[in-house]
Amino acid sequence: MLKISRDPFLRFTTLILITSSLFSYGTEARLHYYNDIHNPNSYPEPPYSSFSQSQPPSISPDPDDLSQPPSPCQDLDQEVVHDVRNYGAVGDGITDDTDAFKTAWDSACSNDEDNNTVSILLVPFGFTFVIHSTIFTGPCRSYQYFQVDGTIVPRDGPEPWPSGFNKRQWLVFYRIEGMALIGNGVIDGRGQKWWDLPCKPHRNVNKTTALTGPCESPAALRFFMSSNLSMQGVTIKNSPQFHMTFDGCHEVHINSLRITSPPSSPNTDGIHIENSNSVEIHNSVISNGDDCVSIGSGSYNIDILNLTCGPGGHGISIGSLGNQNSRACVSNITVRDSFIKFSDNGVRIKTWQGGSGSVSGVTFDNIQMDNVRNPIIIDQYYCTSKN
């Protein structure tokens, strides 16, 4: 069932109303320093989701998993802070600080000093840290804060990407059971050189046909098989491909997040959700070159509130679903009190011919649009090559 509004005439009027939307951002940042260095541990690697490709990453061979799940953290009364500089990170924007981040994460994740303890991995303000393709693995023994007050970047473009490291994902969080990504800092994917690959030219007014060639590009942030996640305050920008993806996740709370890339940047979905449930996206701004939010198969109980999409992009999309005659189901999706501007589409449901399944329990309520080509579009013959 698709419910556009409770009062069709009034909601239609509201949908085409030209408005503006302002957001204020606030996040609490705590700057701490921690000098105790622990020994690193190795962890397993996540398999791929259907949005990416077929082979798993090959970053840490022969890993050993933690033997015990994390303890519940209620009435927290102690913080253990792991400043990445105390683990060898330089933060000069040139030196590769991956090992320092991994060591700091392993130390924070294995912290078991007290059941009422949280661990804070601190990326301090005023520094730029270079990290290559990395997997941060749980479960951890305490609740984790990944506090980004500085800047995190990958190596600049596909050429300096380390040989043997996966080019389809950059920062991966796997099997995390309780984590908050917070701070006033920036995660910058340095996407320009990836967008300029021959297979992915910039979109322009003439819609230039893409040329053949290598086209692997990493998603900036990927959360896989994780739960009890929170994101607030951080800016994520210029991802080579998707900015943030959730696959197999439960209980995700996103608030006051900013995602940005140029309107011409290809395949730069803001937030992609797949095989996940109980996801909230509130009070955030996404301006990019593809779907503002894309909701894939196996997703249900998704709540989007007070979201601004644009300028640029393809709006809020359910799908595409049912590619290659597959079965796909999505249910209980609510998009309300949001604003979409200067976009190809507003709210969209797209399914492939030959697929099967259902899209049900969808509510689009009080969505205001400004200069949107297709305010509401339901396409059951979706095909990327058709005119």
Name which of 74, 147, 73, 141 is nearest 109 in CA terms. 141
- Stretch among 107-121, 168-182, 335-349 having the lowest mean pLDDT: 107-121
User: Three-state SS for 297?
Assistant: coil
d(CA 307, CA 311): 13
Amino acid present at 164: G
Query: What are 275-287's pLDDT values in tens digits?
Result: 999 999 999 999 9
- What's the pLDDT at 67? 29
Backbone angles phi, psi at 101, to 5 degrees: -65, -45
Q: Catalytic: which of 97, 106, 247, 290?
A: 290
* Residue 314: active-site member: yes
Is the confidence at residue 64, as pLDDT, over 90? no
pLDDT of 9 > 70? The answer is: no
Whole-model pTM: value is 0.79
Single-letter amino acid, residue 49: S
Note the CATH architecture for domain 78-198+216-290: 3 Solenoid (2.160)
**What is the rounded distance in angstroms from the CA atom of residue 2 to the CA atom of residue 155?**
44
Q: What angle do CA 191, 194, 199 make, to 5 degrees?
A: 145
pLDDT (tens digit, 9 = 90+) per residue, 10-44? 443 443 333 333 333 333 333 333 333 333 333 33
The mean pLDDT value for 142-166 works out to: 93
337-349 mean pLDDT: 97
Answer whether residue 267 shows pLDDT above 60: yes
Asked if 290 is an active-site residue, the reply is: yes
3-state secondary structure of 170: strand
The better pLDDT of the pair 122, 55 is held by 122
Tens of pLDDT, residue by residue over 184-209, are: 999 999 999 999 988 875 544 344 55
Q: Which of 82, 132, 272, 314 is catalytic?
A: 314
